[in-house]
Amino acid sequence: MFLRRRLLSTAAAAAARGPPPIRVALTEHAGRGVFATRPVSAGELLHSAQPLVSHPSPSLLHEVCYNCLRRKPGDGRASSGGYYFCSDACREHAKGFHDVEKKVDWSSFHDHCSSRGLKYPYMAKRLACMVISGAANADCLDILLPARLHRGTLIEMEEEFELLESTFRKAGFQEEVTTFLTKDWYINVLARVRINAFRIELVASSYEDLLSSAAASVSCDSSVGNAVYMLPSFYNHDCDPNTHIVWLENADAKLKALRDIEEGEELRICYIDASMDYEARKNILADGFGFECYCFRCLNRD
């Protein structure tokens, strides 16, 4: 009787919550965007999202969970040894791509990336391993908007691709399992990662997290890694946003309303530091994201 009542109240609560109050539709000036399907209150959680692909910051490879980017408990000092998994579930989830990774000698690829301070090729490497293991489709990022790439960037990407491809070849992977791994695939992935990857900074949820964050900020490593998501990638930018994206203890993203929002209003997040002046914001959005912002603040040169 008690169990039945509890099940009924759980179902009622789920029904009351309903599906996330959002829909993706075309905007007037900025391609697709996300819109509220009902009034939303300030502070309300709109929805959560799990990464399509993620990777720890190269300097924190052994300090955060290799799967979900949760910080390893401890004093934040570097450790040696293998990758850290925060739970059996994360170890199990990562098994496919990690088993593929373990068959390959990554030293040249990692040296190439670390000597140039590159972080996004690690995500292409992980996605390639996920595809080989069957955990992802090769075209899973195709729906996202790609960045426009300059000639110089394309040449650098071709170099990275050749290194990635030869790394797999040297490890003896059969061509059948790597047919997707072409120059076009690599460039398409990187073009999407560049514009859609989020830099993940965790909100300290415990005293231990707070200590890790403090240690990280001393070593200038406040980001635990990068991740690309599906729905969050459809949110457009505003220099005075009504929505923000937060990460509590791992790479699962939470989209929250910053103020009361009306039904039909577009939900926008801020891609950059909104405290910068108009010129600085304009330059960063043009150079980093390739667009001229049409938000109210920018239109008024505020």
Ligand X SMILES: C[S@@+](CC[C@H](N)C(=O)[O-])C[C@H]1O[C@@H](n2cnc3c(N)ncnc32)[C@H](O)[C@@H]1O
In the complex, the residues that contact ligand X under the rule CB under 6 A are 29-33, 145, 195-196, 233-234, 236-238, 289-291, 293-295
Instruction: Tell the smallest beta-carbon distance from residue 26 to ligand X (Å).
Output: 8
Closer residue to ligand X in complex, CB, 96/146: 146
Minimum CB distance to ligand X smaller for 216 or for 293: 293
**Residue 27 Cβ, how far from ligand X at the closest point, in Å?**
7
Residue 27 or 37 having the CB closest to ligand X: 27
The residue with its CB nearest to ligand X is: 31
Strands (E), 2-146: 22-26, 32-36, 45-49, 53-56
Contacts by residues 199-205 (CB-CB < 8 Å, ≥ 24 positions apart): 199/223, 199/226, 200/54, 200/69, 200/224, 200/225, 200/226, 200/227, 200/247, 200/251, 201/247, 202/69, 202/70, 202/71, 202/247, 202/248, 202/249, 202/250, 203/246, 203/247, 203/248, 205/248, 205/249
Minimum distance from CB of 52 to ligand X (Å)? 13
- Six-digit token pair at 57? 């910051």
Integer Cα distance of 129 and 134 in angstroms: 9
In whole angstroms, the minimum distance from the beta carbon of 241 to ligand X comes to: 10
292: β partners = none
**Least Cβ distance, residue 43 to ligand X (angstroms):** 23
CB of 42 to ligand X, least distance (A): 21
Q: Return all residues near 5 (Cβ < 8 A) that are at least 6 apart.
A: none
Q: Which is nearer to ligand X, 71 or 194 (CB)?
A: 194
Q: Which is nearer to ligand X, 109 or 234 (CB)?
A: 234
Cβ-based nearer residue to ligand X, 119 or 237: 237
Angle at 273 between CA 267 and CA 278, to 5 degrees: 90
Whole-angstrom distance, CA of residue 113 vs CA of residue 92: 27
Which three-class secondary structure state does DSSP give residue 164?
helix
